[in-house]
Amino acid sequence: MIGGFTDVGSGISFKEIQEQDGWQALVALSTDGAAKFNAKFPAAMPKNYCGQPTSTAVNGIKYYSFSGVGQITSALDPSDYLLAATGVPFAGESNDGLVSACSSRLGYVIRDNYRMNHLDSADQVLGLTAWGDSEPKSIYRTQVNRLKNANL
């Protein structure tokens, strides 16, 4: 259902909306589901959990990743409190409220300790991010320049 709203908000007509299964989406995003996906598509993955990837390019494709390690980054952002709650199951492991820093590593790890939560990384809620820290727009701008300088 949420995906349908996203589709329509992205300009896809009601007739074009694909059938969606919320339960299967949750299963796919579970630890077991993610492990199955990673086994099927291992390109640029670390050999072990929390390790550094051994390759940054596979079959001519360069992989990059970055992630955050904060849940509450702006007291004014109501979504931060939800991400603080969803980050609890990580039991002390650095995470952005939805993904652990170790799980985010793929290819060339730009950084996995930005002070931002999962929604901040996409500048999602009113542009509210951690004061005085890297802003998502500048991180993406730097990545675009990195790709341009690598002739990609």
* pLDDT in 10s for each residue of the chain, 152 residues: 555 555 555 666 666 666 778 888 888 888 899 889 999 999 999 988 899 998 898 999 999 999 999 899 988 999 999 999 999 998 889 999 999 999 999 999 999 999 999 999 888 887 778 887 888 899 999 999 999 998 88
Residues 63 and 107 placed together within one structural domain of the fold: yes
Residues 36 and 49 placed together within one structural domain of the fold: no
Counted domains in the chain? 2
Domain residue limits at 60: 44-149
Residues 75 and 144 placed together within one structural domain of the fold: yes
Q: How far is CA 32 from CA 8, 27, 28, 45, in A?
A: 31, 8, 8, 16
The one-letter code for the residue type at 9 is: G
Residues 142 and 78 placed together within one structural domain of the fold: yes
Residues 57 and 118 placed together within one structural domain of the fold: yes
Q: Say whether pTM exceeds 0.85.
A: no
Residues 79 and 128 placed together within one structural domain of the fold: yes
